[in-house]
Amino acid sequence: MPAGDAPGRRVVITGVGPVSGIGIGARAFCRAVQDGRCGIAPARTFDATGFPITLTGEVPDFRPETLLRRTDPKSWGRSGQFAAAAARLAVHDAGLTDDRLRSARTAVVMGTASGESTTLVELAEGWVADGLPATPGELARKLPAGRIAAAVNHELGLRGEAVTVGTACSASNYALGYGYDLVRTGEADLAVTGGADAVNRFTHAGFHRIGALAARPCAPFDRDREGMTAAEGGAALVLEPYAAALERGAAVYAEVLGYGLTCDAKYPVRPDPEGIVRCIRMAHDRAGVRPADIDYVSAHGTGTGINDRIEAEALRTVFGDTVPPIGALKSLLGHTMGAAGAFASIATVLGIRHGFLPPTAHFSRPDPAFAWLDAVPGRARPGLIGVAQNNGFAFGGNNAIVVLGRVER
């Protein structure tokens, strides 16, 4: 693999915007992560009658009109609303004014798995009931997935690059990597990256049908794990050059040290340990770190039997007998799909700033297949993270891993 271009500028994260079922905004989300609070509950955003498993990770308190300043929620799909709200929170957290954002070259990169899925469900419900010719224009206009990133530009009044990345469940790690490259190479002065997806009937049914859904709240890496929980939310991070952050006196959460991208090119659904190992090694290489430098792994940790086993195997291959402590945020949120990587990055950088290791909830019985694994069970563990890696894997074998590091002050 070629080495890539010159290192360029150091890039740091100065703002986070989580819109999640366990907390909206940095402070509430941080507290919930530290407490290991779980937001998984029976579905409310769609009629789950007839589904044997109804648990989802929704954001019941999401009222976009209270978070958005320039955007009329009615004109946008739920994923776009999540993205815009998360971005609004993140730039506020970064202490950036709209004027500053607009005068800079600000890029927006938002990941998603299913785009405006609730809009598609609404369209399909109408088609089933009334036929295709009854397609409402207002719904059809909301369907393009590119509107998710566009919603952020609309909310923040930006006019630069805005791209929606659709690499499924690793999309927001890819988004962070791409945004990092834009800032690092000087293509952009600032980047707002993240992801958004919405709980919906179709995704729920799909995971249900392939036997991936858990009847109990998701328990990654636990011996008795049953599967995942389909969830939703919006998550955004603000990236800027380290020098610019210092100059404006911004509080720095962490530095983006590098990222890895690989594709298994093997199975549509199942992950491949070889592709994951290759991605971890590439991420370390790009970040200029060795396995021994990693203090914490934010696992992809979906909670399904096979995914967690393959992820644990891959970690063991790279780290040998010294796999760092790992946390699986999906045990708190469920699987937020295209937002999952960004939520995990947010939890990780909060841990870096506040000195804790984000936990794995519902973990009580080690799996004999990887009894060595330290899953940081229950609540956050006090501890300093110097360097962390955040794993993101997806259908289609899309692997994206981000390496984040503490910035010494």
Partner 1 sequence: MNGEPPVLTGWGSVTPAGVGRAAFHRTLAVPPGRPGGTDGCFAEVLPVQEAFAAVDFDGPGLLGAKATRFTDRSSELALVACESAVADSGLEIGDGNRDCVGVAVGTSAGSVSRGYWFGRETFLAARPHMVNPALFPNGALNGSAAETAIRLGARGANVTVSAGRTSGLVALRHAVAALRGGYARTVLAGAVEEFTPPNAWVARAGRDPDGRRFQGEAAVFFVVEDAGTARRAGRVPRAELLATEVACPGGPVTEGAYADVIDAALARAAVSAEAVTAVSATGTGAASDALWRTAARRRFGRPGTRWLDPEPYFGDCFGAMATVQLAEVLARQEADPRPGPAVAVVLAADADCGLAVCVVRPSAPREVQ
How far is residue 233's CA from residue 180's CA, in Å, rounded to a whole number? Answer: 22
Give, for 156, the enclosing helix (H) or strand (E): helix 147-156
In the complex, minimum distance from the CB of residue 181 to partner 1, in angstroms, rounded to a whole number: 5
In the complex, minimum distance from the CB of residue 71 to partner 1, in angstroms, rounded to a whole number: 9
Convert residues 296-335 into a mask of x (bound to partner 1 by CB under 8 A) and - (unbound). Answer: ----------------------------------------
Q: Where are the beta strands (DSSP E) in 58-200?
A: 106-111, 162-165, 190-197
User: Is residue 97 close enough to count as binding partner 1 by CB under 8 A?
Assistant: no
Strands 398-405 and 387-392: antiparallel
**Interactions with partner 1, residue window 157-196 (CB under 8 A):** 157-169, 174, 178, 181, 185
Verify whether residue 300 is a known catalytic residue.
Answer: yes
User: Is residue 204 close enough to count as binding partner 1 by CB under 8 A?
Assistant: yes
Q: Which residues, other chains included, contact 379 with Cβ-Cβ below 8 Å and sequence gap of 6+?
A: 34, 35, 36, 359
The residue among 60 and 157 lying less far from partner 1, judged by its C-beta, is 157
User: Is residue 127 close enough to count as binding partner 1 by CB under 8 A?
Assistant: yes
Q: How many residues bind partner 1 (CB under 8 A)?
A: 91
User: Is residue 145 close enough to count as binding partner 1 by CB under 8 A?
Assistant: yes
User: Residues 116, 147: contact at Cβ < 8 Å?
Assistant: yes
**Interactions with partner 1, residue window 334-393 (CB under 8 A):** none
Residue with token string 């990887």? 370
Verify whether residue 169 is a known catalytic residue.
Answer: yes
Verify whether residue 335 is a known catalytic residue.
Answer: yes
**Interactions with partner 1, residue window 235-294 (CB under 8 A):** 261-269, 275, 278
How far is residue 383's CA from residue 376's CA, in Å, rounded to a whole number? Answer: 11
Give, for 263, the enclosing helix (H) or strand (E): strand 254-263
**Active-site residue identified among 92, 204, 284, 300:** 300
In the complex, minimum distance from the CB of residue 144 to partner 1, in angstroms, rounded to a whole number: 5
User: Is residue 70 close enough to count as binding partner 1 by CB under 8 A?
Assistant: yes
In the complex, minimum distance from the CB of residue 407 to partner 1, in angstroms, rounded to a whole number: 22
**Interactions with partner 1, residue window 99-118 (CB under 8 A):** 108, 112-117
Amino acid making up residue 49 = T
**Active-site residue identified among 38, 169, 218, 279:** 169
